[in-house]
Amino acid sequence: MVAEHPLDNPVRSALLGPHAGLARRDGAVLRYPAEVSRFLALRELTQAAWHDLASVLGPDEQALFAGVPEPLPSGWVSTFTLPGVQLVAAEPIGAVDPEAVVLGPADVPEMLDLVERTKPGPFHPRTIELGTYLGIRIEGTLAAMAGERMHPPGYTEISAVCTDPAFRGQGLATRLVRAVAHGIEARGETPFLHAAGTNVNAIRLYEQLGFRLRRELVFGTVAPV
């Protein structure tokens, strides 16, 4: 049997690998603390694993997957779907940016505000614990940011790429993607990222930077009925 690639199920690969120190394990369920990330994974797609998942979900809580398992077993329904793409750097793309600064806990309120206004995807008060986040400030304002999220063995995802609307058109996102990628490549790892399938402008930018489509997947939530 062919071994699963780390990017086939990046949440599971990360929680069983480099992010094991953050993992919460409930039977076959692997997940992050809620204030870090809401993504979870199952060790295996068995009826027992789905039973474990149902037992750990709170009232009205839904399970968020980066790649919704198909088909869903009896007793489960899809509650939200977002078609997406997974892109992997086909060549070294990193570059040092002298204006990119490392963001830390003191910057989280500004980061959360920027995310709320730009909607790059899920970001929570402790998401910065997943990896290095970089930002560019202009006259003291956090104008743009990007950072590391999922960390399967040998790979690191670039995520939360966003720019304040007042500072768009200056190439800040491109610079930060390259700066984050530089740190990833310096560790001997390969950058990858996810994007909504409908976000054609972002996908075009990433392809221009050297990312190539690896696969399509569906982000979404499921719940027991």
| pLDDT digits 0-9 by tens, 78-132 | 999 999 999 999 999 999 999 999 999 999 999 999 999 999 999 999 999 999 9
Domain assignment present for 222 = no
List, for residues 125-163, the tens digit of each pLDDT value.
999 999 999 999 999 999 999 999 999 999 999 999 999
Together in a domain, 60 and 118: no
Q: Can you tell me the distance from the alpha carbon of 75 to that of 63, in angstroms, rounded to the nearest whole number? A: 14
Task: For residue 60, give its domain range.
Answer: 10-83
* Residue 184: closest CA among 162, 159, 213, 202: 159
Q: Mean pLDDT for the chain?
A: 96
223 within some domain: no
Count of structural domains within the chain: 2
Share of the chain above pLDDT 70, in %: 99
Give the integer Cα–Cα distance in Å for 78 and 207: 31
Determine the Cα–Cα distance for residues 83 and 219; give it in Å rounded to an integer.
6
pLDDT at 1 over 50: no
If asked whether residues 35 and 100 sit together in one domain, one would say: no
Considering the domain architecture, whether residues 71 and 20 belong to the same structural domain is answered as yes
Residues 32 and 78 in one domain: yes
Residue pair 146/177 in contact (Cβ under 8 Å)? The answer is yes
Looking at the structure, do residues 20 and 125 belong to the same domain, yes or no? no
225, part of any domain: no
Q: Is the pLDDT of residue 3 over 80?
A: no
- Beta strands, E only, the chain: 24-26, 29-31, 40-42, 63-66, 76-89, 101-102, 133-138, 141-148, 155-163, 190-196, 211-224
